[in-house]
Amino acid sequence: MTADLHIGALNIHTAQEEEWKLQPKEEPTFEIKLVSPNGAIWTAAGEDFFEALKSVRLQIEPLSYLLLCNGARVDAHPSGMLRDMTGGSALYILKMKRVPRERVFIFDRAEADAVGTVADQRDFYQAWLGAPKRWRLTDRARDAASEVWIRWRDR
Q: Per-residue pLDDT tens for 18-66? A: 999 999 999 889 999 999 999 999 999 999 999 999 999 999 999 999 9
The string of pLDDT tens digits covering residues 44-54 is 999 999 999 99
Which CB contacts under 8 angstroms, 24+ apart, belong to 32-41?
A: 32/56, 34/7, 34/60, 34/67, 36/9
Work out the burial of residue 4: count CB atoms within 10 Å of its CB; fewer than 13 is exposed, 13-18 middle, 19 or more buried: exposed
User: Nearest to residue 80, comparing CAs of 91, 69, 72?
Assistant: 91
109-118: average pLDDT: 97
CA distance from start to end of the chain: 44
Q: What is the helix (H) or strand (E) element at residue 49, kind and residue range?
A: helix 49-60
Yes or no: say if 91 and 76 are a contact pair by the CB < 8 Å rule. yes
pLDDT for the residue numbered 145? 77
- Give Cβ neighbours of residue 50 (< 8 Å, ≥ 6 apart): 71, 77, 78, 83, 88, 89, 91, 106
